[in-house]
């Protein structure tokens, strides 16, 4: 196996579908112990962990709009494994309303939800993870699943809160990288383009349809979630130390910086 993660415990949030499900599967295939978070879709998370050996995977439910739930989730995960080696901050939401043209009440609701789930929850998990690594004097890694909207904005007007929230958590992740590199703590942001997920399909429906979105892509295809999962496995290994702090674009040349 190219990247053997045997002996590592990986915490993957939002493991029910899309990038999170693919990442949980890839981590299991690489031999890691996986603790997978889900919000409401337990069946999807169970499917993602279907190939795990007995005792290799664990499921924990939590509502990431509630910080008490986030704290409880971390405590349960830590109690299961005794340590977390890698935190994959993947869970996130993108509502299809809440743009400038929508009513103020909808704007406020969507922004509050986006900031809670996409910023406060992953930031809280980063804080807990980093503190655990500092207390133990042990290395650890954070892999944030971001988006290209953090630097280019979104073509979906309803996704303005999503874009802002992804930019905020990306900056927080980079701040961890800068301040804790000497402690052996690594932090990366993976910034996908258009990925074959339900979230992207819903967004495409509001921006001209799937065919119109695909026509803008140099490869003429959406990024498979498995490619992002494979990159996450590589980063989880811990050998890409000098990539810490990096934002890694994966968009098929659709956005080149």
Compute the distance between CA of residue 115 and CA of residue 119 in angstroms, rounded to an integer: 5
Q: Is the pLDDT of residue 207 over 90?
A: no
- The pLDDT of residue 165 is 97
- The pLDDT of residue 2 is 64
* 38 assigned to some structural domain: yes
Task: Specify the range with the lowest mean pLDDT, choosing from 1-10, 172-181, 203-212.
Answer: 203-212
* 56 assigned to some structural domain: yes
CA 243 to chain centre: 18
Residues paired with 22 in a beta bridge? none
Each residue of 113-147: pLDDT tens digit?
Answer: 999 999 999 999 999 999 999 999 999 999 999 99
Q: In what order do the strands lie in the sheet with 86-89?
A: 57-61, 33-38, 9-12, 86-89, 140-145, 185-192, 247-250
Q: Half-sphere exposure of residue 146, counting CA atoms within 13 Å on the CB side?
A: 33
- The pLDDT of residue 202 is 76
* 256 assigned to some structural domain: no
* 220 assigned to some structural domain: yes
The one catalytic residue among 162, 188, 234, 255: 162
Q: What is the mean pLDDT of the chain?
A: 94
Q: What is the mean pLDDT of residues 164-179?
A: 98
**b/e string for 17-40 if b means 16 or more Cβ within 10 A?**
bbbbbbbbbbbbbbebbbbbbbbe
* 4 assigned to some structural domain: no
Compute the distance between CA of residue 107 and CA of residue 90 in angstroms, rounded to an integer: 24
**Domain enclosing residue 217, as ranges:** 9-247
Residue 140: its H or E element = strand 140-145
CATH code of the domain containing 148: 3.40.50.720
Q: Is the pLDDT of residue 204 over 80?
A: no
Each residue of 72-110: pLDDT tens digit?
Answer: 999 999 999 999 999 999 999 998 889 999 999 999 999
* 187 assigned to some structural domain: yes
Is position 162 annotated as part of the catalytic site? Answer: yes
* 252 assigned to some structural domain: no
- The pLDDT of residue 235 is 97
Q: Which structure tokens are listed for 13?
A: 């949030």
* 146 assigned to some structural domain: yes
Could you tell me if 80 and 72 are in contact, meaning their C-beta atoms sit under 8 angstroms apart?
Answer: no
- The pLDDT of residue 1 is 47
Q: How many domains does the chain have?
A: 1
Each residue of 6-53: pLDDT tens digit?
Answer: 999 999 999 999 999 999 999 999 999 999 999 999 999 999 999 999
- Assign residue 102 a region (left: φ > 0; alpha: ψ between -120 and 50; beta: otherwise): beta
């Amino acid at each position: 196996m190219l990247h053997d993660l045997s002996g590592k415990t990986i915490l993957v949030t939002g493991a029910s579908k899309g990038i999170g499900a693919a990442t949980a599967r890839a981590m299991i295939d690489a031999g890691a112990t996986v603790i997978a978070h889900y919000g409401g879709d337990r069946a999807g998370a169970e499917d993602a962990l279907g190939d795990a050996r007995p005792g290799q995977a664990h499921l924990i439910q939590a509502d990431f709009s509630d910080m008490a739930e986030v704290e409880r989730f971390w405590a349960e995960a830590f109690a299961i494994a005794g340590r977390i080696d890698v935190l994959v901050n993947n869970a996130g939401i993108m509502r299809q309303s809440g743009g400038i043209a929508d009513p103020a009440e909808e704007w406020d609701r969507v922004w509050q939800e986006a900031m809670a789930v996409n910023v406060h929850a992953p930031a809280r998990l980063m804080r807990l993870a980093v503190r655990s690594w500092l207390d133990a004097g042990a290395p650890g890694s954070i892999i944030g699943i971001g988006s290209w909207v953090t630097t280019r904005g979104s073509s979906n007007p309803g996704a303005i809160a999503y874009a802002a929230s992804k930019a905020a958590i990306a900056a927080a992740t980079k701040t961890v990288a800068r301040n804790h590199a000497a402690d052996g703590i690594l932090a990366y942001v993976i910034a996908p383009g258009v990925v074959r997920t339900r979230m992207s399909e819903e967004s495409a429906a509001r921006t001209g349809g799937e065919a119109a979105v695909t026509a803008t892509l140099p490869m003429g295809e959406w990024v498979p979630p498995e490619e992002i999962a494979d990159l996450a496995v590589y980063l989880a290994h811990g050998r890409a130390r000098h990539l810490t702090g990096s934002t890694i674009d994966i968009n098929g040349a659709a956005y080149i910086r």
